[in-house]
Structure 1
Amino acid sequence: MNTNDIFNSEFSRQYDANNSRFSAINDNLHFLVALLLRDLPADARILCVGVGTGNEIIYHAVKNHGWHFTGVDPSPDMLEVCASKLEQAEIKDRCTLIEGYLDNIPDNVAYDAVLCLLVTHFIQKSDRGGIYCEIKKRLKTRGRLIVAEIAGDTTTGNFDEQLSGWAALQAISSPNIPMLEDLKTLLRKRLLLLPPEKTEELILNAGFSPPHHFFQSLLIHAWIANT
């Protein structure tokens, strides 16, 4: 999916403010990711796929002063916001930002870990497995993949129940809880949800170890797997 029409200049500038309702979830996710990466080398290299406005880089860079980060994103507007935030956080000298996709990343660097947080649900389902194969090529032996995405099986009988909590979350920044049918339509138009077990299968088929499902908050799931 080409998301540049979504992540345009105005959207990018307002992205963090518009997603503040996810702050508690994101803080918990970043905290758990830090625990899972706690034993990486002091000079670890981290690749952030779909880096957006750079929140995961900032979180981990301020805690790990020797880590170096590469962030890749197809949206120049998001990267512009990201670069400004990295400069304000005084960590820009340890960060490289690349406009584009995984195949635009130089292949002369192997990474200790790849973070792909809340990105893959924008990728066409037919292309999803290939993303994990491309990520694996860029990891060191025993390197780690951490992926988080909005996931769910929209065909199951209890999906409406799952969606009701998601609707309440959306209402934090809106005066009214959206109708479930309206929310389903929005999810279908903007996101490409897979059942969590399908994502696990794709990661495994790409050559990773069986992924460990370490986090869920409403429809947001996260896994860690090793090469």
Structure 2
Amino acid sequence: MATASADAARKFDPGRAAEYETQSRIALAGYDACHELSACMLAAALGQGAPAHILVVGAGGGGQEIVTTGALEPAWRFTALDPSEPMLDLAVAKLRQHGLLDRTEIHLGYIDDLPVEARFDAATLIGVLHHIPGDQPKRELLRALAARLKPGAPLVLAGNRYAYASRPLLLAAWAERWRMHGAGVDEVQAKLGKILQGADPPHSEAAVATLLKEAGFEPPTWFFASLFWGACIARRLSSKS
């Protein structure tokens, strides 16, 4: 898993980090709504106002998971984890701007770098899994995450969940999304080419459910969709040690 995750992290260099927030909102129609609903799902699962420690895997960029959830639940603390230093630097700046840095532990690295005895009340994995090539590394990442959650703890998992070539109409609509925001024909094709070469999403919602089951999670509940993107919540099995 470390090699696959390291390969994924290298894509998020300073150039990509600098444009991340703007480009993410174009690539994902409903970017803010997805994060808002993720926060609402976690609050519903954990209970309003209850103290909690949330693991945010792939927190780099705008740190939007923490910004949104931290505003909803002032008693929650966070551990922000990301292997890309440029992306993590952006998140730190955003958390400082929103007054959330004192509620957040910052870790540059991978899930395996966290102590196994760490037990979080919940976790998020948003925009990460489709950057991990191959099913086995995806399983290993989810298992490592499950091992650091309390039994019954919820995980919000969001990302692309279809093989791109399997949904040509969605792919064409994605191209139109870029055109809608001013990209020319050549730029649209370049963006699609980068996406197709740089990610390996699970091939269906059923495939996501299987990966979660194999890692020790209950069946997921899906709550958001936008073209290839989907978001779900699943609890770590209570019986898993």
What is the TM-score normalised by the length of structure 2? Answer: 0.85
RMSD: 2.2
The size of the alignment, in residue pairs, is 225
- The equivalences for 1:29-178 within 5 A come to 29-39=34-44, 40=46, 42-53=50-61, 54-125=63-134, 126-154=136-164, 156=166, 159-176=167-184
Higher helix share: 2
CA distance in 2, matches of 1:34, 1:132: 20
Structure 1: segments with no counterpart, 5+ residues: none
- Would you say the 8 A contact 1:144–1:224 is kept in 2? yes
For the residue of structure 1 that corresponds to 2:234, the secondary structure is strand
Deviates more, 1:72-81 or 1:176-185: 176-185
- The equivalences for 1:199-218 within 5 A come to 199-218=208-227
Are residues 10 and 66 of structure 1, via their aligned partners in 2, closer, same or farther at CA, if it must alter by over 3 Å? same
Q: Tell me how far 1:183 sits from its aligned partner.
A: 6.2
CA distance in 1, matches of 2:29, 2:170: 19
- Would you say the 8 A contact 1:3–1:75 is kept in 2? no
Give the alignment partner of residue 186 of structure 1, picking from 185, 194, 200. Answer: 194
CA distance in 2, matches of 1:113, 1:161: 35
- Amino-acid identity (%): 28
Give the alignment partner of residue 10 of structure 2, picking from 5, 11, 35. Answer: 5
Give the alignment partner of residue 17 of structure 1, picking from 22, 25, 50. Answer: 22
Are residues 207 and 3 of structure 1, via their aligned partners in 2, closer, same or farther at CA, if it must alter by over 3 Å? closer
C-alpha offsets along residues 28-54 of structure 1, whole Å, 9 cap, x if unaligned?
112221221224252111111111121
Structure 2: segments with no counterpart, 5+ residues: 237-241
CA distance in 2, matches of 1:207, 1:178: 44
- Would you say the 8 A contact 1:168–1:177 is kept in 2? no
CA distance in 2, matches of 1:161, 1:44: 41
